[in-house]
Amino acid sequence: MSFTEEEKHCAFGFHLMLDCYQCSPEHLDNIDACYRFLDELVIITGATKQTQPYVFRTPDGFAGKEGLSGWVPLVESGISLHTLTGKRFISLDVYSCKEFSIEDIKGFTQQFFQPAEIEERFLLRGVKYH
């Protein structure tokens, strides 16, 4: 969905959601790789980190949910990542009050996780904010 410049100007924030299917298993269960992904994604968005990314492994006892969850807090909002190792799936949310390049984020995600398919959703947040 595309938005007019006026709609973008009135919005508080921009929210990109990517669901990636049949990803290469190389990075899905690798805490260091997911940390690197989040750290580099901050640079790509042009945002400002409040602190380093955090990446956690799903605890035992959650069958079918094995994988990693990560988050990096931004002055402009935040980026979150969830991987499901068995399904070779990732879910990525990039939310920022600073506009970013959707294509740059998708390209980096494609290069890093090598999914066979990416579903994309993009929303303007706080459209009545201004």
**Which CATH number goes with the domain that contains 74?**
3.60.90.10
Domain count, the chain: 1
- As given in the structure block, the two tokens for residue 33 are 């790789």
List CB contacts of 120: < 8 A, sequence separation 6 or more. 16, 17, 18, 102, 106
What was the pLDDT predicted at 49? 96
Q: How far is it, in rounded angstroms, from Cα 36 to Cα 99?
A: 22
Cα Rg for the chain, rounded, in angstroms? 15
What was the pLDDT predicted at 61? 80
Residue that is written with structure tokens 């879910």 in the block: 91
Cα angle, residue 43 at apex, residues 120 and 37 outer, rounded to 5°? 65
Decide: 87 and 69 in contact? Cβ < 8 Å.
Answer: no
Which of 19, 9, 37, 21 is closest to 114 using CA atoms?
21
The answer to whether residue 130 sits within a structural domain is: no
What was the pLDDT predicted at 128? 80
Structural domain including 100 reads: 5-125
pLDDT along the chain (130 residues), means of 10: 68 94 96 97 96 93 90 96 96 95 97 98 86
Residue that is written with structure tokens 């919005």 in the block: 11
The answer to whether residue 30 sits within a structural domain is: yes
What was the pLDDT predicted at 8? 66
